[in-house]
Structures are given as structure tokens and as C-alpha cells.
Structure 1
């Protein structure tokens, strides 16, 4: 009974983490690390290692749903994942050589930066849509009432496309990429892999904003593609952390029991959520995680 109750609690937490993981395209480490540190009182390296361990089955579950929904650009995900897999062990090694407080504060800073990028993207979208609508309305007024109605309809359609990411924009599985775009994906993966190994997260918090800004994917495509890359790049880091003996297997398995079905559900839900709303939710999620980690490392929770 003493073990059963905490195990059920961790599985329930994992269910919520998995749902956010599948919805937002992250491995879930940005939530798991604060949970492991603040709730379970794990040491920083154990928290990051256990998080990385749990990320693999979580990402696999979400990836399956995203591929079925055609919201995953598979070649890009593989390219970024392989790049990340090359760098993830270096991140793990670097974390082992760094002060533990530096690992956690680095995680908080990287996550906060990603939150800022996500908010800036989300808040720019309505302004762009209004500008398009205004130009279309002016042209329609000059051309006559009939043309104005047509222009207004076109503007509304473009605005809806930016806000709601319709199905036509979501067929990531059929998107063709140039060699340059794939190379950019590998570079993004290299950066995400280093960060993943160092701070124990999947790297989706870094890849999603970069897929959006550098490769022009939709938010839904970025989420699905990121999960595939996360699944691949986390594996070498997990193996290395296991060899170091840093993984709390019991806690990791209990969380994974919840994250696997949660990620599947979140990925199924993702195409139904408007693109802008998804960006805002992702930004809020990242900002809260960053604040919790930073505050904890300054000792304000009294558990250091």
C-alpha cells in the first residue's frame, strides 16, 4: 500500500504530462524535471536522467498518432533526431562535469527563451491577419460592393488559415524538403541534442520554435515532427545515463505508465486545436516550468 499510492499518483501525473507532450510536441521533460525535483526531492542529475528515460516511450506514443494524422514531417524528424543523437551523449557528459545548480539554471533559461519565442510568434499572427483584411477591404471598396465582399471573404479565409491551421496545411507526411532544409534540420537537432543531454529534456522546447522560424512549418507540423526527433535523439543519452547509474527506474516507469496513453490522446487532439491557441498554451507551459526550476534552485522552496 505504501508503494501503491505514490505509484498511482505518479501515473496520474504522467497522464497529464503525456497529454501535453502529444499536444505540444515536447518530450515532457520540462514538466517532469520540476516534478522530480520539487515533489519527489530527487538530486538534479537523477531528475534529469529519469526525465530523459521517460521521454523515449512518451515520444514514441505521441509520434505514432502524429504520423497517422499526417502532422509529422518524417524526413525532417529523422534528420533532426539523428543530429540530436550525435550530440546528446556530449550533453550528458557535460552535465556530469558541471555544478548541479548550473544544469538546472541553464534548463530554466533555455526554457524561458523558448517561451518568449513562442509568445512572440503567437502575438504576431493576429496583427498580420488584420493587416491583410484591411488591405483587402480597401481594394474591395474601390472596386465596388461585389468585389469588396469577395475580398473580405478571401481575407477572412486567409485569417482563418493563420489562426486555425486547416487540414490542407497539416499534411506534413507529404511535404517535400530540399537538401538545405534537411541540413538545417540536422543543425537544429545538434543543438537540441546537446541541450537534451545536458538538462534532461527531449529538446522539443528548442526544436518547435526553430522549426517554426527557420523552416516555416505550421505549429501542428512542428509538434509532430519534434516528437519523432525527440524519440530518436534521447536514446543515446538514456543509455549513457543508465551506465552512470543516474536513473530512478521505479519513478520513471510509474510516470511512463501514464505518459504513454496521455501522449497518444494529446497527439490525437492536436489537429483540432487552433494554431494560435496551441502556441499560447505552449508558451505558458514553458514559462511556468522555467520559473519553477529557477525558483527552486535559488532555494525559495526550502528543499535544497
Structure 2
């Protein structure tokens, strides 16, 4: 029993980190959970993906609720994508059961790497939110000793700073403006969910790493709204796959619950951070995370950590 305490504490910390990233980036966290379960609990790849899929549910629920409260998501689009994904997730689980370990891990790494390249391109194209230079309310020594021309120059400089502040604020406000979601957009969201659901069931991840780039590319949804929207979809599409894995007896409940104890509060925290992170930095963070996840999965398949 005492030997399990350190492992539980590590699982708690891992869950907290995964939860924050899930709430911030709109992913279920499976890309980190799969190698974490492999390393910490010595599971085979199938049990890793199954347990990861189970842990994604409480994580995404926590993050989605926070996003809905903060109005940083598009619920209608999220539900449409989630229902589409829920239809395909069991098929992914069935295919994973028939596939060798290397095929499951290899597919995950390739899909994640592709999504990462796509997001890096979007991050590079995103406008920079210019940070205004901090200004003092007190004039400097030269201003005190000057007359009206210098005061006019100082006033012009103040106006320029105000303009920069307004532009930076406008850029960030634009990234929180919700685009109109009609039946056409909902249908496209459902189609995105179909593909994400298949990947979710097959490689044991939430599907957010696919939905976020596609929602941005196809529907032009800002990253700050895509994260919460993706979590709503992940919350729905992970359910049938988890049920299927539970029936097949592939879930390690102890490991999943231990990680969920940390990921639930972590996801709520990550969702609250969304308005504070600039859009461009958020995209780079998402892309960088995908690169790390792809590397971890490849290293895992090579058996570096057992």
C-alpha cells in the first residue's frame, strides 16, 4: 500500500499538468496520458489508450463547464462535432483491438505531427498583438524644463501609445468574437467530428488535436474559441469509446481515477487562462505541445522506457 502512495502523487501531478493543457488548448490530454500510463503503470498499448480515453471524460467535462461559464466556446458547434465523433469512436476502438501496437502508436504520431505542422503555419500567419510600452504618469526632467512644443510632443506620444493599446486590445477582442453558427457550420462540425472520433477511438486520445486545427482552417474559428468548443466535442465523443473499452475490460480504473483527481481542477484552471494568453502565443503553444506529444509516442513505441 505504501508503495502506491508515491505513484498516486505522481499521477496527481501528471493529471494536473494534463488538465491545464486540456483546458487551455482544447485537447483531451490523451497524447500525454498514453505514454504516461505506459511509463508509470507498465500497461500494454491497448490498455494505455483505453485508460486514457476514460480519463478524458472527467477532464473534458471540467474544462467544458468552465469554458461555457466564461463564454469562450461555441456550444452548438461543439455538440455537433461531438455527436459526429461519437458515431465513429466505437469503430476506432474496434480497429485498435485488431491492430498491432506499432500501428496504433505509429498512426497517433503521424496524425499529431501533421496537426502540429498545420498549427505552426497558422501561428506564423497570426497577427502580432503589439504590447504597449509602459508609460509613467509623471513627465521626465526634460519635459519639466521645456515649454509648449515639448508638451505637444509628449501629448502626441501619449496618443500614439493609446493607439497602440487600442490596436492590441482590438486584436484580442476579435479573437473572442463568436462567428455565426448555422446549419451549414454545424454540418461541417459534425463531419470534422466523424474524423476526430475515429482517431479518438483508435489511438486513445480525445480528438482535440484534430478538431482544433480543422475548426480554425475550415470554419475560421479563433483559437480562443476553438479550445472550449473542442472540449465540448471531446466530452461527448469519448463516451461511446470508453463504454466499449470498459465492456472489453481494457481500462485500468485505478490509474485513470488517480490521474483524473488532478486533471479535473487542472482543466478548470486552464480554461480560465484562455483570455489572458494572446492568440498567437496560444497557437505556438498548441503546435509545440503536439511536437512533444508525437516525440513521446515514437519514443514509447521504440521501448526506450520499457
TM interval, shorter chain, is 0.7 to 0.9
Residue matched to 1:255: 259
Residue matched to 2:109: 108
Residue matched to 1:141: none
Equivalent position to 1:265, from 249, 266, 269: 269
State how far apart, in whole Å, the 2-side matches of 1:169 and 1:44 are: 38
State how far apart, in whole Å, the 1-side matches of 2:279 and 2:175 are: 11
Residue matched to 1:146: none
Residue matched to 2:19: 18
Say if 2:41 and 2:255, in contact at 8 Å, map to a contact too.
no
Residue matched to 2:96: 95
Bigger helix share: 1
Equivalent position to 1:170, from 171, 176, 181: 176
C-alpha offsets along residues 15-46 of structure 1, whole Å, 9 cap, x if unaligned? 11101100100001011112112343220000
Normalised by the length of structure 1, the TM-score is 0.86
3-state SS, counterpart of residue 126 of structure 2: helix
Equivalent position to 1:187, from 191, 211, 232: 191
State how 1:1-304 maps to structure 2 within 5 Å.
Answer: 1-126=2-127, 161-162=170-171, 165-166=172-173, 169-172=175-178, 175-299=179-303, 301=304, 303=306
C-alpha offsets along residues 235-258 of structure 1, whole Å, 9 cap, x if unaligned? 000000001111010000000000
State how far apart, in whole Å, the 1-side matches of 2:180 and 2:3 are: 53
Q: What is the CA distance between 1:218 and its match in structure 2?
A: 0.8
When Rg is computed on C-alpha atoms for both structures, the one with the higher figure is 2
State how far apart, in whole Å, the 2-side matches of 1:230 and 1:53 are: 11
Say if 2:104 and 2:203, in contact at 8 Å, map to a contact too.
yes
Give structure 2 stretches of 5+ with no counterpart.
131-158
Give structure 1 stretches of 5+ with no counterpart.
131-149
Say if 1:111 and 1:205, in contact at 8 Å, map to a contact too.
yes
Say what the alpha-carbon RMSD is for the aligned residues: 2.2
3-state SS, counterpart of residue 259 of structure 1: helix
Normalised by the length of structure 2, the TM-score is 0.85
C-alpha offsets along residues 78-118 of structure 1, whole Å, 9 cap, x if unaligned? 00000000000000001111111100010011111111111
Say if 1:71 and 1:171, in contact at 8 Å, map to a contact too.
no
3-state SS, counterpart of residue 114 of structure 2: helix
Count matched residues: 278
